A = this chain, B = another copy of it.
Amino acid sequence: MRITLLTDFGTADGYVGAMKGVIAAIAPAALIDDISHEVPAADINSAAQTLSRYFFLYPVGSVHVVVVDPGVGSARRALAARLDDRVVVAPDNGILTIVLAKAQDAAVHVIANRAFMRETVSPTFHGRDIFAPCAAHLAAGLSLKDVGPPINDPVKLSMPRAVAEADGMRGEVIHVDRFGNLITNIPGELARGSVVHLNGREIGHVRHTYADVAAGTAVALIGSEDSLEIAVRGGNAAETLGAGIGAEVSTQIPG
């Protein structure tokens, strides 16, 4: 059984280590894969996107732990869900929005059964005391229904959607990755063949890959998640083009 971890904890404080120790004590044979602990602190939107990049690639039966949890200790619920036969535990703060939207079938439960939490639950560290033990028990065979009752109203983030215009699409940058690539909310299949503008500046036609332009040149292409992306070959588009999350992007089919 394989359990993945995505948090905004960093690693140096040992909080992630504490979660791993709890998992190892309950499920000694579990393979634990770090996804990241470098999500920007409390950035639920960013974590939701990151989760969507690996969740469905993992095989059925995988258990995913996601703890970006600025509301820890408040009334926000803790969730355990099964989406297309993969399990995820996470705070009910919208972090599951994208994977819920993509899943063919979904069952979402509240984590309520104290039997699967640590004996003492700190109001500030549910990663260690609720999510890690719950994930380990689920990986070890616990049935989702034994975790707590089903719900049908998990919190959803409202995400900006690209809109159709007379001659193309209008959307925005929704993520800047480590390389400075600007990832937009315009679906790739709607962008193909278009000319792209970023904040009113022409980037050019949608190309196939970085190498289709000269080094240092901006390029629009369909990224690895099938959405329109703006990059600078061998460079950092966010810095070079002075654009970040929310920057306006439009596509026009040449007339």
Contacts and interface: CB of A to CB of B under 8 A. Distances in A.
Contact of A221 (B8, B59, B123): B123
Given A46-B12, A53-B14, A178-B10, A70 B234 contact: yes
A38 B10 CA distance: 9
A177 interface: yes
A189 to B, nearest CB: 13
A50 B178 contact: no
Q: How many copies does the complex hold?
A: 3
Contacts of A2: 24, 28
A21 interface: yes
Contact of A224 (B25, B70, B128, B224): B128
23 contacts: A4-B20, A11-B34, A12-B39, A12-B178, A13-B53, A13-B177, A15-B53, A16-B35, A16-B36, A17-B50, A18-B57, A20-B54, A21-B55, A21-B56, A21-B57, A21-B59, A24-B58, A25-B57, A31-B32, A73-B211, A74-B211, A75-B211, A123-B208
